[in-house]
Structure 1
């Protein structure tokens, strides 16, 4: 880093390997959709010699976005790993989707990486979602740098975008976000726009010209030096202010010229510990060129300034809920690895992308697979709720496009694909068979967009269950629900694009065709007033007959009371052995519902009287009579339709509070409180009918420009407005 002259690439066609954590760099690329992350990965691979032409390997396939869905949608929908070598280091480039629906893939990339490159388009700027990810990285101290792309756009302004990045990411210290290079512009074209043809190093004061397709270094001209003086002085002051050498600032202020090597060393240390965030410019290679603009500088930043896995603290590990001492990144230490991504390959079956934190993973070894079934593991009296198994590791490979290049081992700090882990899911821990451990899982967003589906045909129905279970095992941001009230299969997703990809994978990867149907919420019904009913079940046509008569009274109870059954029979009108039968019949009918088919709740049913026959009365007869009595009581009473109400907790930027509260009001919501939180955000708490928030995950994103977040939890059922209830009953009647 710091304008070094080394441009030694790795060899094309050879798998990037590392035998020690010190020679590894794990870097995740973060940025909004369309910012140029995938193009940048391809440019870095070309410069490093990992591909023989932009984005292609020997078989002509792309190294990223090679999935059929990605190719068709022209955007990344999954985490991809591209390993390259540079300066004796193996660099694992983790390309993440920029679209909000695939934030689970982004979080997996953050988990696997030790540093982050935030990719910002000079034409589009910094969006709110990218700022949120920056704050998450800052909270855990992850080193970060910024790459400005699309500098060739006519409206691109590198200097202005650098100032915007300092404002967006610098927080209280904008001098911690400064450029290391300034763009060198060529002759203006017919439109008056001068293209960027090279970079000027602020520390070395060297010019790096890419116009020939390969970086060429030279001294600046006399008229260029004044242009960089101000930016250079500010950069030096920013580096010195973050230096661990407290005497350096005094020496600088005293007029001493600090040598470039000292500044570069201090810069690298500040970047590695997350205290300084350099800004660089990059562009893909032109046709026939071997190097893209700024790619050499970026590779030098990664190898010189970003930390090795040795400098990262591994996630917390536990044994049956008991924390264990922190593990170092030692290839000879106990094995601890984590599945950060699961995928299905049409040729080799399930494959798992694994990050090794300690020890060395080898083919054919038997490992212990352990994972939590219900999110973060909390100790209980019986230990956490886990799934566990011993499995034999299959082949290890390093990905490159569609190719999988075999490797003999994966050392601590590295990543590799593992074949045939049939019982391992995303987020699971791999450890030694005789010393099982569990890593604390990373936080995943809760999927809040429901997608109700049905098998398209009988053959699809036979394959649906297995296809869905595989889909959910691969993607922890997807949740499967078998709703017992509505009898629907519901796939909970993060958004519409997430749902579309899920359906396409079901169809193309697992051969399951499904139909999307309207999502139903769990409605209930209750009595609005006291009513009486008589159930008469008498059948005597010769032989053993059926005889049961019962009289009941039904009265409404407060919400949440359930169903109470009271026996007030006197004189043995209903024999004691048949009173439970009446109750069973009443409860069964209440569960089935009445005209609209929704369960009856919150009532007290009192058995007042009845009749029995010494021979023909039976348990089944009195069950039927009890059900008939409840139906007769309902026929003469006002029945309220009850809808579920959820508590919404919406975290929103202060600028969007008014729009969000107005939107909630339009959904029949009641705002019950607001409170200020840090970072210029407000937490809005509201009670909203679940019928009104089926698409809230999509609508809130639109309202808040992708920055709003919310959670929901069931509160209670309460009466639906009469006009709306009548509409729902009419629709239910038409559909029956």
Structure 2
């Protein structure tokens, strides 16, 4: 940390495998869109010597070269890994998107990391989504620190931002969120503002000055001293409260000066345990400067305070059949246990898998066992089970668009593996002779349906393969072929997720699709009894067709399906043709009789008919049965049944009223509420599915990104007459409009 001796940048151009898990730090950057995560990563890469002032790595590739979709949108949409070295430590920085639609990339980053760096903009503060991720990290004990950016923004105030972090993120113990340094303002500009040019270390009282673009250490100015005393005392008290040395508090309260070295050691231990969360400030370098404000302090916090992979622990493992196995350790000589945390496609290399090695050592040309989360049954996303052996291709460390070859990846490290053609995101890689399966990480369910169809015949030929590859890369996306509406539905996290997926489908896989209106699976039934005759008589010379049947239809209770009853007397319809009539009415019922939706919950009774000794046939009576059912519909009263979902919405208490009102406006019935932890409420309701097609987007807007919901099919219920009339009158009888 900055209280230690000055660290020196390590060589950044070489892609050497880490020597030991203790020399690795895996850090994920978390924060809302626009907080400055990617800028901070580049500033750290510059300070470490990984890139030059122009943002180039040694071979001339720009670190800021993003995916072409990111360039067009000027927004991060995927997880990216930037490895660098500092003071002999390999630091794997995982930059995550800040936009809520790409939460799957964030979850992957959290899985691959051992500590989290929360990036908060002084201009925007702590948003609700950042609070939720902080709470998730707290629940699993992940070590966290906070970096405040955009200190040059209008009305930016580091003290107020720190106080906000204590309130919003400190929870029951705000004294665990404390700054390590205070920004030191430089000379005042002509407009009266004073830019931050240095940081005052609260433990040593030294000023780390970045005025000349490279950190120098000196005594603070007299005007800086009043800023330090209160903040220093708060920091020391917070460290002592976390110290394992119980006598330290007694000595401090007795007025004894605490040794700085002891305080730094206790601070690092508390940060690594995840019980103390330092706040730092950072800003990118300007002009020809190499070191941006706070970059050296941040790198020293990462290497000195964040835990090694050995300290953070490993997810639980089971045998392929689900039998629990003893916990693994982060040992390069142990059994291989690695996980695919991200899958992407390169137009030249093909599929590239970003892999976190938890145990053992991964080497090129090794043959490994690949097992999906549904090794014995489909997983929660409905993906089919898969277990197979596959050879490891080249290992590499990414940097921008470049891949630097690695000889091996040891336990605790991250590496890219080329051409794992059958491994999907979330799959476990293990030794062939000792197959393992790692406990999956939690992924949100995609809840925005997008119906797609091929743009042309050429696209239709490539559509299935392109969509399959897209879903294999992104576990927050689900593909469904609806058996009721016959639509191909891509379930996404939100509109931005949808747009990026379709753009990626076109640019990477060469498949163009059109989006069409998503239809829900409606049903039809008879609201009252009806009678109809089916007459199929054709005499055009030669062998003719002759079949007449009379049927009645009456409604049945929900869930009864289609019941067929034969009440023909006197042989009016020969026995051999009664199954033909049943087949005809059932086929027509499956097609629908009014809006093109399946007919359900009716009893169809064959009561009479006529046959011809020569011209009657199986086909003729099938046709007559279908015609009779359609005539019943023409003269009877048809009701539409719509699917109803049981919905659970979890929101902060402040939004409960708005959510309940909104659900009621969607024809929903609120079933009840209950507490879901401090400050949150679960709202349960029954809502027609036709009303919640865009609820994933609307809830996010309504709750400022803090709400989440789940849905499950419950039953079909009669659709209100005015809504049913619109469906029945719609052109072509298309359902779900």
Instruction: Please tell me whether the aligned partners of residues 16 and 407 of structure 2 are also in contact (alpha carbons under 8 angstroms).
Output: no
Shift of 1:65: 5.5
Match in the other structure for 2:50: 50
- Please give the secondary structure, in 2, of the residue aligned with 1:717: strand
CA distance in 2, matches of 1:97, 1:546: 67
Stretch deviating more after TM superposition (197-206 or 514-523):
514-523
* Closer/same/farther in 2, CA of residues 262 and 511 from structure 1, 3 Å limit: same
CA distance in 2, matches of 1:734, 1:377: 35
* Closer/same/farther in 2, CA of residues 16 and 81 from structure 1, 3 Å limit: farther
Instruction: Please tell me whether the aligned partners of residues 375 and 386 of structure 2 are also in contact (alpha carbons under 8 angstroms).
Output: no
Shift of 1:386: 2.2
* Closer/same/farther in 2, CA of residues 118 and 513 from structure 1, 3 Å limit: same
CA distance in 1, matches of 2:444, 2:621: 50
Match in the other structure for 1:396: 395
Match in the other structure for 1:582: 581
Match in the other structure for 1:13: 13
Is the aligned partner of 1:633 residue 2:632?
Answer: yes
CA distance in 1, matches of 2:55, 2:557: 66
CA distance in 1, matches of 2:299, 2:235: 20
Shift of 1:72: 1.0
Instruction: Please tell me whether the aligned partners of residues 16 and 85 of structure 1 are also in contact (alpha carbons under 8 angstroms).
Output: no
CA distance in 2, matches of 1:733, 1:614: 39
CA distance in 2, matches of 1:91, 1:652: 36
CA distance in 1, matches of 2:152, 2:682: 41
CA distance in 1, matches of 2:644, 2:190: 62
TM-score between both structures, scaled by the size of structure 2: 0.97
Instruction: Please tell me whether the aligned partners of residues 648 and 687 of structure 1 are also in contact (alpha carbons under 8 angstroms).
Output: yes
Match in the other structure for 2:694: 695
Is the aligned partner of 1:723 residue 2:722?
Answer: yes
Shift of 1:730: 2.2
CA distance in 2, matches of 1:252, 1:334: 47
Shift of 1:608: 1.8
Deviation track 1:341-380 (CA, whole Å, cap 9, x = no partner) reads 000011110010000011000001111111024999789x
Stretch deviating more after TM superposition (510-519 or 202-211):
510-519
Instruction: Please tell me whether the aligned partners of residues 65 and 75 of structure 1 are also in contact (alpha carbons under 8 angstroms).
Output: no
CA distance in 1, matches of 2:282, 2:618: 81
Stretch deviating more after TM superposition (123-132 or 59-68):
59-68
Match in the other structure for 1:169: 169
Instruction: Please tell me whether the aligned partners of residues 43 and 55 of structure 1 are also in contact (alpha carbons under 8 angstroms).
Output: no
CA distance in 1, matches of 2:323, 2:697: 40
Shift of 1:195: 0.7
Shift of 1:207: 0.5
Match in the other structure for 1:551: 550
Is the aligned partner of 1:286 residue 2:275?
Answer: no
CA distance in 2, matches of 1:224, 1:166: 23
Match in the other structure for 2:203: 203
Name stretches of at least 5 consecutive residues in structure 1 with no aligned partner.
none
Deviation track 1:171-224 (CA, whole Å, cap 9, x = no partner) reads 110100000000010122233221110000001111000010000001224443
Instruction: Please tell me whether the aligned partners of residues 364 and 392 of structure 1 are also in contact (alpha carbons under 8 angstroms).
Output: yes
Stretch deviating more after TM superposition (264-273 or 713-722):
713-722
Deviation track 1:532-553 (CA, whole Å, cap 9, x = no partner) reads 1122223344443333222211
CA distance in 1, matches of 2:694, 2:477: 16
* Closer/same/farther in 2, CA of residues 308 and 375 from structure 1, 3 Å limit: farther
- Please give the secondary structure, in 2, of the residue aligned with 1:340: strand
Match in the other structure for 1:437: 436
* Closer/same/farther in 2, CA of residues 7 and 492 from structure 1, 3 Å limit: same
Match in the other structure for 1:365: 366
CA distance in 2, matches of 1:247, 1:16: 44
Instruction: Please tell me whether the aligned partners of residues 674 and 683 of structure 2 are also in contact (alpha carbons under 8 angstroms).
Output: yes
Shift of 1:612: 3.0
Moved over 6 A (4+): 374-379
Shift of 1:692: 1.3
Instruction: Please tell me whether the aligned partners of residues 532 and 553 of structure 1 are also in contact (alpha carbons under 8 angstroms).
Output: yes
Question: What's the Cα RMSD here?
Answer: 1.8
| Residue-pair matches, total | 732
Deviation track 1:38-59 (CA, whole Å, cap 9, x = no partner) reads 0000000001110012533245
- Please give the secondary structure, in 2, of the residue aligned with 1:672: strand
* Closer/same/farther in 2, CA of residues 232 and 23 from structure 1, 3 Å limit: same
